[in-house]
Amino acid sequence: MSKLNEKMKGFYVEKGFSEDEYNNFLSSSVNISLIISSYAHRNQYRENGKSYSVHPYSCLNLYRDFVGIEEDSYDCIDLDLMYKYNIPFEGVQEVALLHDVLEDTVVTLDEIEELFKELKLESYFELYIKQALILITHDKSESYEVYIDRMLINPIASICKMMDLTDNMNMLGLALLKDIELDRTIRYAKYFKQINDKWHFIENLQLYKKERANLNFLNKIKNMFPDDIDT
The CA distance from 152 to 193, in Å, is: 12
Mean pLDDT of 124-130: 98
Least confident piece of the model among 87-96, 115-124, 142-151, 211-220: 211-220
Mean pLDDT of 46-58: 89
- The C-alpha R_g of the chain, in whole angstroms, comes to 20
The CA distance from 103 to 208, in Å, is: 33
| pLDDT surpasses 80 at 223 | no
Q: What is the third-level CATH fold of 3-224?
A: Hypothetical protein af1432 (1.10.3210)
**Which pLDDT belongs to residue 216?**
74
Query: CA angle at residue 187 from 182 to 190, to 5 degrees?
Result: 130
| pLDDT surpasses 90 at 205 | yes
- Which among 86, 125, 123 is positioned nearest to 109, based on CA atoms? 125
Q: How confident is the model at residue 210 (pLDDT cuts 50, 70, 90)?
A: very high
pTM: 0.91
Domain boundaries, the chain: 3-224
The listed range with the strongest mean pLDDT (113-122, 173-182, 222-231) is 113-122
Angle between helices 155-168 and 179-199 (to 10 degrees): 150
| Alpha helix (H) residue ranges in the chain | 3-14, 19-25, 29-40, 54-67, 79-84, 92-98, 101-104, 109-118, 122-124, 130-136, 144-151, 155-168, 179-199, 201-224
**Which pLDDT belongs to residue 208?**
97
